[in-house]
Structure 1
Amino acid sequence: MKEEWFGKWRHAFKLDPDKTISDEALDAICTSGTDAIIIGGSSGVTFENTVDLMSRVRRYELDCALEVSTMDGAVPGFDGYFVPIVLNTDRSEWIIGNQIEGLMTYGTFVPWEETAAQGYIILNEDATAAKLTGAKTELEVDELIAHIRMGVQLMRLPLIYMEYSGRFGDMEMLRSARSVCGETRLFYGGGIDSAEKARQAAEWADTIVVGNVIYTDLAAALSTVVAVDSLQK
């Protein structure tokens, strides 16, 4: 498998266009040593607030990617684009429907070399994303493995994203996911609000994504970069 444009990321911060972040906090995040900034959210994402946040991040020399969750938030000018495909839902619009609608409108303009499908598995029933997509969050290990094999072996997705969104997840489930991902990139996000949790998740995930703690405890958010960096040395 060829190296994807996101293939060397170990740590990424995720910024929500619908949330406020000061220039000072953004500077600290973007100069922290993280590998990338991902912009995206489950609600309140518009063209205007996405463009505004992208323009602020683009002043820094690090990868900036967009997670395309709504057509309104589809903005040109990013280094890369993620298109979520929710694997643990039976609502077809979150598997193929919204994606087809988007391609009918913007398909001619998609930078395919910098665009990747995300096989999302949402595992926190209280998360906005779970409620929005109708995700079946209470998966047993064998069900999780089956979902990942669907994404990796049948759909040939370049990455699997295990998302607990606001709650720190089950690291044994993450370890099980790692065992069947093969060369497919494994992202983990959810509840990483300390260096120790960052280390735990980074032990099994190829890339950890840190989001909510940015807005509640900036120092703790920054400590996650150092924690992941220490694992590589």
Structure 2
Amino acid sequence: MRIEISRWKHVFKLDPDKELADEALERICESGTDAVIVGGSTGVTFDNTVDLLARIRRYELPCVLEVSDLEAIVPGFDLYLIPIVLNASDPDWIVGKHMEAIREYGPMMHWEQVAAEGYVILNGASAAARLTGARTELDVRDVTAYARLSERMFHFPIFYVEYSGVFGDMELVRRVAAVLERSRLFYGGGIDGAERAIEAARAAHTIVVGNIVYEDLERALATVRAVREAESADGGA
């Protein structure tokens, strides 16, 4: 399957460490979302990742692994996203763990299936921020500088603004999107229904919907319809 992230407007992110009924998974995979990303900050193992992959593979949509743990790298995904947490205080999340992965798996990696994400975490209370020691007290100039660093110096295809559990500053997101010319701006955090999905989709290139899947499935599914309708109303932009 050819993966074109440049076309993604909406993706669901599913956590292998959280329970999801088969019926709910079917509705997610047949919702019209552009892809499913599998990943999480804690509790991700090889076993729960391969189990979720097998369940998603019943459906015809791109299935992507966002790698957060070397022990949970599972073959068979369409694409592997590698987060480079640019505002991490722990260098392991910038280059250390990545070097370890390449040392272990480099000879067998299919590099055309690997995409790096320049990641900036902005919710200091989140598990992701605590895990990486992220410096989250950043202003617009800081984040746009990281965006330019990610795109212009490192040539990452994705720049990911992650608020992880809370709805972020959409003016900041819009201003970050404005400085990117080739990279895709992903936004994640606090998208809990149609209204916020539309607001985020008009600020970022791609929105990532996660936690609400496990809290209110109907509201999660409504985000897909909302983004599609907004896209049509905006002329497919």
Normalising by structure 1, we get a TM-score of: 0.97
Which residue in the other structure is 1:85 paired with? 84
Residue 70 of structure 2: aligned partner: 71
Identity of aligned residues (%): 54
SS of equivalent to 1:104: helix
CA distance in 1, matches of 2:89, 2:111: 27
Match of 1:211 in 2: 210
C-alpha displacement of 1:232 = 2.1
Runs of 4+ in structure 1 deviating by more than 6 angstroms, as ranges, are none
Structure 1 position 5, deviation (Å): 3.0
Please say if 1:56 is aligned against 2:77: no
Match runs of 1:13-24 below 5 Å: 13-24=12-23
Q: Is the 8 A contact 1:194 1:223 kept in 2?
A: yes
Q: Deviations over 1:76-96 (max 9, x none)?
A: 000111000001123211100
* 1:140-182, Cα deviation, whole Å (9 max, x unpaired): 1111111111111111111100000100000011011111111
Pair 1:116 & 2:149 matched: no
1:36 aligns with 2:46: no
Which deviations, in whole Å up to 9, do the C-alpha atoms of 1:20-54 show, x marking residues without a partner?
A: 00001101101100010000000001000000000
Between the aligned partners of 2:157 and 2:123, the Cα distance in structure 1 is 23
Cα separation, 1, equivalents of 2:170 and 2:229: 19
The unaligned stretches of length 5 or more in structure 2 are: 233-237
C-alpha deviation, 1:55, in angstroms: 0.1
Question: In the aligned structure 1, how far is the partner of 2:228 from the partner of 2:171?
Answer: 22
Q: CA deviation at 1:4?
A: 6.5
State the secondary structure of the residue aligned to 2:191: coil
Structure 1 residue aligned with 2:235: none
Mapped partners of 1:132, 1:156: distance in 2? 25
Give the match's secondary structure for 2:82: strand
Matched with 2:97 is: 98
Number of the residue aligned with 1:189: 188
Partner of 2:224, secondary structure, is helix
Instruction: Return the alpha-carbon distance in structure 1 between the equivalents of residues 188 and 109 of structure 2.
Output: 26
Structure 2 distance, partners of 1:109, 1:212, is 33
Deviation at 1:197, TM superposition (A): 0.3
Give SS of 1:72's match.
helix
| Contact 1:64 1:79 (8 Å CA) reproduced | yes
- Structure 1: which amino acid aligns with 2:155? R
Q: Which residue of 1 aligns with 2:164?
A: 165
Contact 1:148 / 1:160 at 8 angstroms: preserved in 2?
Answer: yes
- Quote the offset at 1:6 in angstroms: 1.7
CA 1:133–1:153: 2 relative to 1, 3 Å: same
Aligned to 2:140: 141
